[in-house]
Structures are given as structure tokens and as C-alpha cells.
Structure 1
Amino acid sequence: MNNYLEFDFKISPLQPWNEILMAELIEIGFDSFTEEHDGILAYIQKDLFNEDALKEINLFQHDEVKISYTFQEMPNINWNEEWEKNFEPIYVDEKVLIRAEFHAPDPKLHEIIIQPKMSFGTGHHPTTHLMIQQMLNMDFKDKTVLDMGCGTSVLAIFAKQKGAGKTVAIDIDEWSVENSIENAERNNVELEISQGTAEHLGKENFDIILANINRNILISDIPTYVSVLNKGGQLLLSGLCFFDVDDILEVCTQEKLTLKKKLQREEWVSLLLEKS
């Protein structure tokens, strides 16, 4: 087992900055969090921690929030076991249930079963919830689908369950790839799962692209997504805060994408766009 570092971040004001900070920390290797009354506890494997990457997070210089932190090395703990103890089933619009195998099934709801490891995208985060909400009303029948930054691949799995054809799931994190393979098997769906980034996309085109990542990566990668999106295809984005929307839509307009639907949950936003 790997040794972990525990960071105790004090955040004032707490909302919405705790969620935003967690999203930023995930991008530099932090993989689990505990919410506190005055901030968050964040955990990262000791050998993955990069102090320079932490200091480069722009949020620390943001005028509207004050963040300080201390950290300590933790003893060896089975973090998957700890994570599972606190994993609760997720209900989306009383139509979809995301649960682990040790939760009771609900035959009245559409179910997605995942092994709750420390991959981002279990459904607890508002952005994953928003993506599922958007997908409920989308037509996936026989569509080719790409899930970028797939995490647990809960979105790719849901797309397949809704009738999608070939579905590709890509994540930069090896752990997410392994978890995605397990979850695809658990839900009896066939996914093409690989490790990589948008730079690894080839010439294959898609009818629907799902990207629940973060503002900076989306701004950088939207032109690449559009280049492999079929005409009339749909791009579903999240990982965005409400104050990111204007910047994202500016890039989307440049790429001839039309906004079709916007959903917001707490401070987080999902955008459904279509390629003209």
C-alpha cells in the first residue's frame, strides 16, 4: 500500500470554493476528500505529490476566497475500504440509480452498478449528476459515443444502456481505466477503454461526445472534440462553474457549436451543444 499525504485546507467562504478546489486538486493527483465545516481534507499518494503543481492553482490568488493549508503524512490505510464504507447510492431525477453491488437494487429505476473506488465520477459530484440528467433526454440509439475523462465510465455505461453503438472511454489516469474495465463488465456492456488524452484521438468520428472534465482542459480541447464530431453531432460538457460559462461559450461559438440546453446544480453547470 502507498503512503498518503493528508492536506487540511481551510477555506473562507466555504461555498462554492470547496467544490471548485476539489476539482482543481483532482487534476494534480488528489484522489479522495472529506468535507469539513471550515474546509476539506484532501488525500494524495506521497510519490505523486508535486508541490509546484499545487502552488500553481490559481484559486490560491483569487480575490474572493482565502485558502490556507497544512499537511501530514498518513499511516498505511486501505483507502478503497474506507471509501466503500462511505459510498451511498445516488438517485437522479427518481429515474436512475447509481449503486454499488452491496446496495439493495430497485427494480423501478434504471440502474448503473459501479465499484466505488477513488475514481472521479461516481455520481456524487454535481457535475456527474448533471451529465446523467442531460443524457436522460438524449437519443443514443446506435450512436457512436466518446466519453473523455471517463473516470468510472458511468457516463459511457449509461450511453450503452440507452442503446449507443460503438462507445469509447478515455482517461488519463491508469486507475480510472482499470476501474472502467471492471465497471463495464459489471454492467454487461462493451466499451473500448484506453488511457490517454484528447491528443490521442485519431481520425475516428463520433455522434456524441461526453466531457466532464474542467474549464481549462475543455477550453484547450474543444477544438479537438469538434474535429472528430460528426455534423449535427452533440457535445455534452460539464466540470464547469457558473462563472466559466461565458468563456466556454466563446470557444464554442468560434467552433460553430450551438447551445441547445443548459442545466445548473448548485454552482455547477452542464452545457449541451450541437455542431452545425
Structure 2
Amino acid sequence: MNILFAWVIPYIVILLFLGGMILRILSWLKIPVPFKLTVFPCPQTGAGVAADFVKESVGFRSLWRGEKSLWFMSALFHLSLAFILIGHFFGIGFLGQQFTWLGASSETSLNLSVLFGTYAGAALLLGLLLLTIRRIGSPTMKFISSFADYLVLVLLLGIVGSGMYMRLFHEVTYEAVQTYLIGLLTFHPVPFPDNMAFIFHFTLVQLLLLYFPYSKLMHSCGLFISRWLIVRPHERQVILK
């Protein structure tokens, strides 16, 4: 059973996730666009388009122009999520020693890694809770919400909550997680770390990855395609009567 859940299923999940992502994006790209959809005013250069992408994907400009409270909740959630993902990569990849590059001692680097991870996790959990309260507390949001919307929230709450539980009460070491993940990446899998909270956390992450290509979470990829369609620069056409 340990071989199935620790070794076999993760490979199946990654294959299905990548395959689903590729198929979903290809299905979007195959949709015919019979005429230009660029909306004025639009950037006139490639650099301008890139700047627009940054403003929309990092600054959430469209939300800022609308409901400010939603902008705050969304920005808090997405930016802290990005920080957490980057922190996972460097923290696990370098065993919490990434701050030694900036001159910190080994012990200080590890403490900073734990500190920043804890605060980022708390911010992520707060943003997620605020978005959840908004969805279940607003009659309009409840009306337009489906089972799929609540399923994503439950998975995310489980992932973030279990991550914070590990950080505060039942910590798993960077070394144990790194050993397990490197084993998967090098096709020399090893057993799970001896930590039930990690196993629960990792299982929920896999469930989210399986569902990701078929969920509204694909807006993280669709944003760039749809944004390109409405801001890509092209020569303006003048119709003379």
C-alpha cells in the first residue's frame, strides 16, 4: 500500500496533470478568432503588452478598478500563494539555507526561512478565509456558485490548513521532504516521511492537481491568452467613407 500511494500514484497524478493542462490550452488555441479583438486604448509595442500583463497578473488592475475589497482579498491570496510556492522551492531545495547567499549564518537562514514561511502561510490562510466568507456570505455569490467552486475551496483550505498545522505543531524536516521528492524526481522513490500531516497535505495537493486542468483555476493560464487577444498591438485600420 505504501508503494502505491508514495511511489505509483504521484507519477500518475503528474502525467494526468500535465496532459490535462496541455490538452486544455491546446483546445483554447484551436478556437478560431475571425477578427481582431484588441480593445482601445491598447499598448503599441511588445514591451507595452508585457507591462500590461504584469499590471494585470501581479497588480490585479481590473479588480482594483472595480470592487476594492475583492482586490484586497484576491491580492492577499495570490501574492502570498506565489511567495509560498517560491519558498517551498528554495526552502526544500536548499534545506532552508538560501539566506546564507545574503551573508546570514546557517542558523539565522533556517530561522528566517521558518519565519517567512509561517507569516506567508498565515497571510495565505487569511486571504483564503476571506474569499470563502465572501462566497458563502453574499447572496449573489451563493446564487452563481456551483459545487465545483466549493470543492476547490475545501481542497485549498485543507492544503493550507494542514501546511500551517505542520509548521506550528507537527513539523516535518526539510531533509525528509527533500529526500522523498528527489527520490520521485530521479525515479528512485523512497517511503513517505514519517509524518501523517505531511501525507494528508501531499494527498490533497495531488487531488488538486488532478482537478486543476478541468476547474476554474485554469484562469491562471487563460488570463494570458485572453489578455493577449485584447491588448496585442496591431496597425490601426481607418475606414474611409
Q: Same fold (TM over 0.5)?
A: no
Flag the structure with higher strand content. Answer: 1
Flag the structure with higher helix content. Answer: 2
Normalised by the size of structure 1, how large is the TM-score?
0.23
State the structure with more CA Rg: 2
Q: Which has the higher contact order (CA 8 A, sep 6+)?
A: 2
Normalised by the size of structure 2, how large is the TM-score?
0.25
